[in-house]
Chains A and B, each alone.
Chain A
Amino acid sequence: MSCQKVQERLSAWLDGELEEKVAQEMAAHLAECAVCRRELAILQRLHDALANLTAPSPPDVTAKVLRHLPRRRRRSGWRSLSLAASLVLGLYLGHAVTGTLYLLPNRNQVGDLAIADVFMEYPLGSWGELFGSLNGEEGNGA
């Protein structure tokens, strides 16, 4: 490949846009030709100089973007809230209906049953023995 053809393709070489076969021919030429290597180096420095150009600091657009999001998306929170309210209402109605279908003991009866359940393991008269054993353990440990 001639120097002229190589130098015509340096721009595309730099961008990695050459076909594999052409790129190999370029590499072979550049390995042996100092003139073309110098041209490539100049182009590379130009590339670096462009990359180093500064721009004004970008403003943080996050808040502005979030503020302008489509409303239908932003309403998802309200949608969740209304769904939760519907669920609570459904549970309440369900309880009201089942409460009439399945007759439960009244509140006082339920309370009595719960108390009886707690004290079932400790029959009357057992409390004195229980406290007595605890005091004994404390005395041994002292």
Chain B
Amino acid sequence: MQVKPTDLDYALILRIARGQEEALAELIRRHQRRLYQLAYRLLKDPLEAEDVLQEVFLKVFEQAGRFEPVSTVSAWLHRITANHCLNRLRSRRPLDSLDDDEAAPLPASSADPLAALEGEELARRLEGLLTALPERQRQALMLKQFGGLSYQEIGELLGLSPDAVDGLLKRARQFLKKSLREFLA
């Protein structure tokens, strides 16, 4: 999706490219919530997610002049955020192999089936299942769900083909669907 000339974000980027700090403050206000959500979901650490958020906006200030309106500003911001998060994850530990398809044993469900119907319980259970997903599957799912990235973009970030991304997402959803079937059906 291309940037429209009337796009407020694009207008802000043009002002940031001229060094206007107020424009950067407005861009932060508009996007920090969603970007933080993506960073937090990928890193699973609120402090690191905050650090990434700062790095991303400092980078935006530096690179605003190089933004090419072939995609939306929002997509650009999500890609930068995802890239920063993945770099941090790479420095933490080596990624799981693609063959590591088996999810970890499910965390024990503490709720009875009736209570589990509550949205809060479903969310708690889902959080537990996400940590049990193989790392690649989890990353692909978070990039899709919270970053809104295409298979092509996710593949570029993870060094995979779009078909491989499709496979990761399919397996992740299959695992979650199977584990939560009684809540989702």
Contact = CB atoms under 8 A, between A and B. Distances in A.
Interface of A: 8, 11-12, 15, 17, 38, 42-43, 45-47, 49-56, 58-62, 64-66, 68-70, 73, 76
Interface stretch (B34-42, B69-77, B83-91): B34-42
B108 interface: no
A121 B54 CA distance: 70
Given A43-B177, A46-B184, A73-B61, A56 B40 contact: yes
B58 A65 contact: yes
Contacts of A69: 21, 24, 58, 61
A48 B37 CA distance: 15
Contacts of B41: 53, 55
Contacts of A50: 126, 141, 145
**What is the interface residue range for chain B against chain A?**
35 or more
Interface stretch (B3-11, B25-33, B96-104, B109-117): B25-33
Nearest to B52: A61
Contacts of B24: 65-66, 69
Nearest to B26: A62
Contacts of B53: 58, 61
A68 B170 contact: no
Nearest to B174: A11
Given A12-B166, A56-B40, A70-B62, A61 B50 contact: yes
Contact of B33 (A46, A52, A58): A58
B184 A17 contact: no
B61 A46 contact: no
Contact of B184 (A45, A56, A60, A68): A45
A38 B28 CA distance: 40
A55 B130 CA distance: 14
Given A42-B181, A65-B54, 20 more contacts: A12-B166, A12-B170, A15-B144, A15-B169, A42-B185, A43-B173, A46-B177, A47-B145, A49-B183, A52-B123, A53-B41, A55-B37, A58-B37, A59-B50, A61-B28, A62-B25, A62-B29, A68-B54, A68-B58, A69-B24
Nearest to A45: B184
A70 B61 CA distance: 9
25 contacts: A12-B166, A12-B169, A12-B170, A17-B150, A17-B162, A38-B185, A42-B181, A45-B184, A46-B177, A46-B184, A47-B145, A49-B184, A53-B123, A54-B123, A56-B46, A58-B32, A58-B33, A58-B36, A61-B32, A61-B57, A62-B29, A68-B54, A69-B21, A73-B19, A73-B61
